Amino acid sequence: MSESTGQKPAAILFDFDGTLIDSATSVLAGLRHALACASIEPRCTLDSSIIGPPLRLTLAKLAGSDEAVLIDRLAAAFREYYDSDGYRHTEVYDGVPTMLQALNAAGIALYIVTNKRILPTLRILDHLGWRTWFASVYALDALQPAAEHKPALVTAVLNRHELAPEKTWMVGDSDEDRRSAETNALRFFAAQWGYGSAGGAGLATPAELTLAAGVHRRSF
């Protein structure tokens, strides 16, 4: 996809991991650290394919158990590592900063909706110097009570900011991202450079989103 849709969106909701940032190296290191602290061998392959779902679900899959006390211990060990230093090793996909800057400069309101916890999400944004490009940032645990899943989080963001679905797009890399958009009647774009294999209109590069939104290079 490389052509304008003919209608600039008023807002775009972005997934975070696998869409704007590549946190595989730092997240996988944190998961290995958590499992090692509990002397647990992973029950499935520890690679980027497991990144995306909420932390506790990922840990349960790796540990082969959803026993609450164990998952609490693993989550605490992961957070200690990731929140203090691990998040600093987050990598950025080529073209994403230019895309975000261009969309923001064009007057499109940008939001993050992520399964990542809000604390490391904000720390990563501050570390990268991206915070000012976003109208607001949301994670499941940013709501009280926490959102049950991403489709519910997207619904809450649309309601809270009075975003019209017909003027709001969503960009993500996972099937859950696609379902979140469809549930809320949003136009969805699949970030094909990410971890997942979301269906829908595909974006080969971040620059293609700016063109779809009618934001051309002269606006960069």
d(CA 26, CA 82): 7
Evaluate whether the domain defined by 11-22+92-219 bears CATH number 3.40.50.11290.
no
187 phi and psi angles, rounded to 5 deg:
-75, 130
In the block, which residue shows the tokens 């506790």? 56
Q: Reply yes or no on whether the pLDDT at 217 is more than 70.
A: no
pLDDT bin (cut points 50, 70, 90) of residue 48 is confident
Q: What is the pLDDT of residue 53?
A: 81
How does strand 21-22 pair with strand 91-92?
A: antiparallel
Q: What is the pLDDT of residue 4?
A: 55
Q: What is the pLDDT of residue 5?
A: 54
d(CA 8, CA 13): 14
More confident residue, 36 or 50: 36
Q: List where CATH 1.10.150 sits in the chain.
A: 24-88
> What is the token pair recorded at 14?
């972005």
> Which DSSP string do the residues of 194-205 spell out, in sequence order?
SSS---SEEESS
> What is the token pair recorded at 9?
């969106």
Mean pLDDT of 116-143: 96
> What is the token pair recorded at 196?
């997942």
Question: Is 3 in contact with 161 (CB distance < 8 Å)?
Answer: no
208 HSE (CA, 13 A, CB side): 13
- Give CA separation, 146 vs 40, 79, 139, in Å: 29, 18, 9
> Which DSSP string do the residues of 101-121 spell out, in sequence order?
HHHHHTT-EEEEEESS-HHHH
In the block, which residue shows the tokens 């959803």? 66
d(CA 91, CA 28): 13
pLDDT bin (cut points 50, 70, 90) of residue 220 is very low
Q: What is the pLDDT of residue 54?
A: 83
With CA atoms as reference, report the closest residue to 78 among 116, 22, 113.
116
Mean pLDDT of 96-106: 97
The CATH code that applies to domain 24-88 is: 1.10.150
Q: List where CATH 3.40.50.1000 sits in the chain.
A: 11-22+92-219
5 phi and psi angles, rounded to 5 deg:
-80, -10
In the block, which residue shows the tokens 């909701």? 13
